[in-house]
Homo-oligomer: A and B are copies of this chain.
């Protein structure tokens, strides 16, 4: 099964978990309290996030605190960057495009 950051962020619940633990490390139980789903389903999402290298764990007694490895999201940023360049250049050149269109049509 594929395990990359794009697959990780595809699920809305996982994006919500990411948002939660970006602020502060949390235990699976604490995370589950923020959703109406079982603790086990959160654990499975955390396992997927962990396999995608998006979270780190810190054991404290019987609790495990999960937090976001925010650097990993830079992979998404790097991917979107190429397209950002396209839409930014399109915006810059909008006037040119419009005047060229006028010429072509005429």
Which one of B10, B73, B83, B90 lies within 8 Å of A83 (CB-CB)? Answer: B73
- Tell me, yes or no, whether A86 is within 8 Å of chain B by CB: yes
Can you name the residue of chain B whose Cβ is closest to the Cβ of A81?
B77
User: By the criterion CB–CB under 8 Å, are A86 and B12 in contact?
Assistant: no
The secondary structure that dominates the A interface is helix
Cα distance A83–B10 in the bound complex, in angstroms: 16
Count of chain A residues with Cβ under 8 Å from any Cβ of B?
22
Provide the residues of chain B in CB contact with A10, threshold 8 Å.
6-7, 9-10
A positions within 8 Å CB-CB of B: 2, 4, 6-7, 9-10, 12, 15, 22, 70-71, 73-74, 76-77, 79-80, 83-84, 86-87, 90
